[in-house]
Structures are given as structure tokens and as C-alpha cells.
Amino acid sequence: MPFRDRTDAGRRLALRLVEWADSGDLVNRLVLALPRGGVPVAAEISRALHAPLDVLVARKIGAPGRPETAVGAVVDDEPPVFDRRSLDALELTEDAFDSEVTRERDELRRREHVYRGGRPAPDVRGRAVVLVDDGLATGLTATAALRHLRRQDPGRLVLAVPVCSPRAADELRAEADDVVCLEQPGSFRAVGEWYEDFAQLSDSEVVDTLRTFHATA
């Protein structure tokens, strides 16, 4: 069943996570959104779990001529994560994407500055971190983000998304302690097909949401 919009998806996902949290299994919680699309989903989860909300910016590296098709992803200053199968199919090496990696890293830094306004990234050590996106096709950005967080020694690492491809869900179980996905359609083609309203979000909408949460924290 399609979600009305990202807020609706976040509320439905939050119901699942609240049941889990009530068991006492998610202690010292922190919700991190993959912007932009993950922010309104994560906002509903943050409200329901009474947990702080922040962002973790990850950038997709697109295939030549098909920028929406991910072949890799980058987070922070860490080496990019590539899908080896995609590179082999394209008969390309990682070096072929050096300029694209540089552009995406520059955009990553720009967004971090805009979204945080100088605030440091939250300390995740020992915490139950819930990483949220609005959906996953290849799962490469989530993979890069989860590996980045794992190196910071969280107490528990949970990936929560409303919809994802079965392949992405299977592969990401090796990266997260838990994967919570409401819908894993076998006919999955694109995240947007599972939303009635999948309008693009602006930087200002992301900033407004984060400001609301930090003002009431």
C-alpha cells in the first residue's frame, strides 16, 4: 500500500519502532536522517521515541549518463563505497569517478554547513542510533552511512526505512544490527512509486525541521 507522503510513512514506521523501544531494547536513543528525503520520516520517529534528531549527510555517486543510478556513495572524508558489480558491468574502475567523488564531497560539505549551521555532529558512542531514509533502492548511501557510524562505536545500529528493495534489505543486514523496513515489494523499481506525494524537499525545509527539534530539545 503506498504511503501518502513522507510524514505518513514516518508515522507508520514510528509505530513499529515504538513497540520495540517499549521493550527496553533501545537505550539512549538518537535518530539520524539521511537528507533530504529522510528528514520528515525521521522527524516523526524522533517525536514518537522522544529522541534527539540530527542528520548524517551521504552523497550518491551516479553512473555516467545516468546520475540517478547509484554506483557508489561517500560520507565525510572517508573513502567512497562502490558497488563492484556495477563497476564491472560498466567496465570502469573507481579511479574513473575521481572528479565525481570530489563534486559530491563538496556538495556534502555545503549541506552539512547549511543544515547544522556550525553545530558539531552528535556523539554516537554507546548510543542506540536509528538511521532513517525515505526508501532504499540500491542501499549504497545507507551502506556508506552505516559503515561510517559503525566506526564510531554505537551501542546499537538500526536502519529504519518505510520501503526498500529486497536485495538492499538483505545486503544491509550485514551492516546494521537491525533493519526495519515496512515494505519490501518484489516488484520494486523506484522509491517514489510507493508514495502518492514524493515531492522534492528544499534545504530550507530541512533546516526548518531541524531548528524546530533543537529549539524544543
Q: How many CB atoms lie within 10 A of CB 188?
A: 20
- Do residues 183 and 162 lie in contact, with contact meaning Cβ atoms separated by under 8 Å? yes
> In tens digits, what is the pLDDT along the chain, a chain of 217 residues?
689 999 999 999 999 999 888 777 788 999 999 999 999 999 999 999 999 999 999 999 988 878 778 899 999 999 999 999 989 988 899 999 999 999 999 999 999 999 988 889 999 999 999 999 999 999 999 999 999 999 999 999 999 999 999 999 999 999 999 999 999 998 888 999 999 999 999 999 999 999 988 754 4
Buried b / exposed e across 72-90, counting CB within 10 Å, b at 16+? bbbbbeeebbbbeebbeee
Per-residue pLDDT at 217:
45
| Count of residues in the chain | 217
Alpha carbon distance 136, 134 (integer Å): 7
Non-local CB neighbours of 157 within 8 Å, separated by 6+ positions: 129, 131, 146, 149, 150, 175, 176, 177, 178
216 by DSSP, 3-state: which?
helix
Query: Across-strand partners of 31?
Result: 53, 130
Q: Quote the pTM value.
A: 0.94
pLDDT in tens, 149-207: 999 999 999 999 999 999 999 999 999 999 999 999 988 889 999 999 999 999 999 99
Alpha carbon distance 51, 30 (integer Å): 6
Closest CA to 33 of 3, 6, 5, 1: 6
DSSP one-letter code for 124: -
